[in-house]
Amino acid sequence: MDFVPLPQRFYEPSAKLVAPLLLGHWLVRRSAAGICGGPIVEAEAYLVDDPASHGYIGETGRNRAMYGPPGRAYVYLIYGYHYCVNAVCHPVGKAEAVLIRAIEPLFGEDVMRRHRSTAHPLALTNGPAKLCAALDIARSLDHADLCAAGSPLIIAANPDLEIFRAARGPVVTTTRVGLGKAAHLPLRFYLEQSPYVSRRAPRPRASRKTKTSAAASSRARRRC
């Protein structure tokens, strides 16, 4: 299978615009164990002046990759054990990135299962730390060039993108997960029909008036 990385210009707009466009493209990991990865089905955007972003406090050794250039990986450690991977966006000096929250395991699933053993098939890659464990993504891949054909970590163009998105869509826009700040912002995007989405937006509850009307309609049909 040939993998053609998305070009650097793909990542030059704001992460808010890039995040939904990444859905359906392939996150690809190359290692001594083999090639593995699959289509991205859930992503979150983190923006300039976003209190929930690692870049909000200014440039540090930990978040330096967020400041560019665009099209690089930003990999960080959480809870002292798990890793998360982001695609850096925006021009150099403006810290924005897209957190990859879930992928579908399309190729190299045997490699992924050697990295991450799980009884439930969907639990392999249905979360940001889970997919990093399955793809063996660690801090050593921070700053990796996602646009270079020979890079150990790339995001490759899906040649059947429109077919995949039509089958897994529509795209849902909702709030981000697990935040204490700016949790109300609609910056998480996912493909509704993918079973690998980590968390779905709550469905709106029907009002009491709607429920009463539906019940009355049902009783009327039974009398007919």
Cβ atoms of residues 196 and 103 within 8 Å: yes
CB-neighbour burial class of residue 203 (10 A; exposed 0-12, middle 13-18, buried 19+): exposed
Q: How far apart are CA 197 and CA 52, in angstroms?
A: 21
Residue 140: what pLDDT?
97
Tell me which amino acid residue 55 is. Answer: G
> pTM of the prediction?
0.89
Is the model more confident about 53 or about 205?
53
Q: What is the pLDDT of residue 206?
A: 54
Whether residue 217 is predicted with pLDDT greater than 90 in this model: the reply is: no
**pLDDT given at position 172:** 97
Q: CB–CB of 145/71 below 8 Å?
A: yes
pLDDT at 64 over 90: yes
Residue-wise pLDDT for 87-122, tens only, equals 999 999 999 999 999 999 999 999 999 999 998 999
Q: What is the pLDDT of residue 138?
A: 97
Query: Domain spanning 8-223: which CATH class is it, in words?
Result: alpha beta
Q: For residue 204, what pLDDT is reported? A: 66
- Please report the pLDDT score of residue 78 as a whole number: 87
